Structure 1
Amino acid sequence: MRTPAQNARLALLLEVAGTPKPGNVDRRRDLADLRFEHFLAGTVGAEEGLEMAQNGDSVGDAFERAVEGMASQGGGNTQFGALLLLVPLVRATADGERLSPSTVESVVEETTVADAAGFYRAFDHVDVFVADPPTEMEPLDVRRGSDAVPALEDRGLTLLDVMDRSVPGDDVAREWVTGFERSFAAADRLVEAEGPATDRAASVFLSLLAERPDTLVANRHDEDVARKVSDRAATLFERDALETDPDAVETFAEDLVERGINPGTTADVTAAGLYIALERGGLEV
């Protein structure tokens, strides 16, 4: 029987191995400077931090350690957003309770200023794309990493407070303030789907992209691009293209890679859904 930390690592592996995942690294497709092997190495590197979460360590410390380990491979940021979802989910299992929206809500509601400081220090280990903050929030710009911790402490902001201030521009943060709504919905879809887990992961990724524009795409490009990508995914998903026209999804995937469009937030939510499905026993691997 796998431990929660093992299920979290398996979720990361299944997510990156699912194909086709338009615009993202998968087992058949690399990006210009980010390869499939980097994600495998990042998963291995995150091991200690995920085990810390499993053993009841604070969310901030566990997340920083997971990111530090993840960043030890040569590709840079591979799974920062996914780990920001997985660490509280794993921590929610530390007391032996069944994983549910209420148990993970309790974890995030109990985060502290020290947890927020750990989150900021994680940015010292790896470059992460984030949108420019409003002028009044510049002292709290996460890209400042540990240099922003004094401003964070002066304001007494917990990690949940930081996530709340990142909505609506960041859908990973949105999960924190909505009881991991989409993550649990993704888990239900994964259980209901058929076929190998990697095929299910790719299908659920497309369904998530079809229903909501990816915030990483919106921030890197603009909201119009993100909406058009989501609309195209919806067209493919409504045709059940993963079964009837896989070439159409492959074409979509290649097109996004060529245009440098990476729906990474959708991949993060897919990884969280995989973990929930694995941990609750609904997805057998």
Structure 2
Amino acid sequence: MSPSHDRTNPPDSSRTPAANAELALLLEVAGTPKPGNVDRRRDFPDLRFEHFLAGAVGARPGLERAERGEAIGATFERAVEGMAAQRGGNTQFGSLLLLVPLVAATRAERELDHQTARSTVEATTVEDSVGFYRAFDHVDVFVDDPPADLEPLDARRGKDAIPALEERGITLYDVMDASVPGDDVAREWVTGFERSFETADRLAALDPARSATDRVASVFLSLLAERPDTLIEKRHGETVAADVTDHATDLLESGGLETVPDRVDAFAADLVDRGVNPGTTADITAAGLFIALDRGGFDL
């Protein structure tokens, strides 16, 4: 392992993996403008910037448990419970579903990579599924209706679904695998966190002379232009999601934040006004930030 990835001496910092995950959540929400999302200049009527700050801090104890190697399901539940201890409700559920296993994967004595992340999630158990389902008892999360034969496994049932999980022997990896392709957070689990690592590379490639929050916003726009956001698809349909992606692509081809910042800002305001929230894109941005911070590829 190269010295630059020695966990006892992280690049230019003494931050632990849990601290990097918390920082990733804070940087993600501070990036501005992030079309359709809460950022430091835009709030939703019942969900504000400070709720995300409190959610990130509240999640820290769960992230620290993941860093210590405790079970992923239980640490995820603890992170969500802490996140939800503010008046806004669900701020970073999807982000934590990516960050908890990534933090757990950093315990390996080698650079965090696709294979390390993949093997971490593939090793999850039925008990991890139990922790995941219990997390739904702490916060409201938007999910699709399951097929009729999977109704006993509806995540919205929370702990009431546990007997069915245990009877069928369903691991947390199985739960994520069954959620693809309609959920890009789940897709990250079964692809070795493909887009999360690509996001980290994009962040690392940007000029560090630009502000960190400006770099976050630029990468967010590139992700939004890359493929339709699955949260938008669930809430508003495929046509709206495709239109948002097309608009982001047009802005990116026009130069994005560096060339047409006013147009990007207007797009951000419009999506917030319409209640169109690319939350999955924000989740992947947070995961990419964590990987970039862990690798020392995102200077502050």
Query: Normalised by the size of structure 1, how large is the TM-score?
Result: 0.99
Are residues 1:179 and 2:204 paired? no
Shifted more, 251-260 versus 91-100: the winner is: 91-100
**How far off its partner does 1:87 sit?**
0.2
**How far off its partner does 1:97 sit?**
2.5
* Aligned residues of 1:169 and 1:215 also touching (Cα < 8 A): yes
Q: Deviations over 1:196-232 (max 9, x none)?
A: 2211110111000101000000000101100110110
Q: What pairs up with 1:142-181 in 2 under 5 angstroms?
A: 142-181=155-194
* Aligned residues of 2:197 and 2:291 also touching (Cα < 8 A): yes
Q: What pairs up with 1:1-285 in 2 under 5 angstroms?
A: 1-194=14-207, 195-285=210-300
Amino acid at match of 1:257: V
Pairs aligned (count): 285
C-alpha separation in 2, matches of 1:231 and 1:193? 23
C-alpha separation in 2, matches of 1:155 and 1:201? 41
**How far off its partner does 1:9 sit?**
0.3
C-alpha separation in 1, matches of 2:146 and 2:108? 36
C-alpha separation in 2, matches of 1:268 and 1:276? 13
C-alpha separation in 1, matches of 2:81 and 2:110? 28
Q: Deviations over 1:224-254 (max 9, x none)?
A: 1001101100110111120111000011001
Aligned to 2:181, the other structure's residue is in SS state coil
C-alpha separation in 1, matches of 2:105 and 2:151? 32
Aligned to 1:24, the other structure's residue is in SS state coil
**How far off its partner does 1:133 sit?**
1.0
C-alpha separation in 2, matches of 1:231 and 1:32? 27
Residue aligning to 2:9: none
C-alpha separation in 1, matches of 2:111 and 2:174? 26
C-alpha separation in 2, matches of 1:214 and 1:86? 19
**How far off its partner does 1:284 sit?**
1.5
Amino acid at match of 2:220: F
* Aligned residues of 1:53 and 1:94 also touching (Cα < 8 A): no
Aligned to 1:225, the other structure's residue is in SS state helix
C-alpha separation in 1, matches of 2:155 and 2:71? 19
**How far off its partner does 1:139 sit?**
0.6
Q: Deviations over 1:164-220 (max 9, x none)?
A: 000011100000001100000000000001212211110111000101000000000
- Computed over aligned residues only, the root mean square deviation of the Cα atoms, in angstroms, reads 0.7
C-alpha separation in 1, matches of 2:54 and 2:177? 31
Q: Which runs of 5+ in 1 are unaligned?
A: none
C-alpha separation in 1, matches of 2:236 and 2:112? 35
Q: Deviations over 1:74-110 (max 9, x none)?
A: 0000000000000000000123331111111110010
Aligned to 1:131, the other structure's residue is in SS state coil
C-alpha separation in 2, matches of 1:251 and 1:24? 13
* Aligned residues of 2:108 and 2:116 also touching (Cα < 8 A): no
Deviation above 4 Å: which 4+ runs of structure 1? none
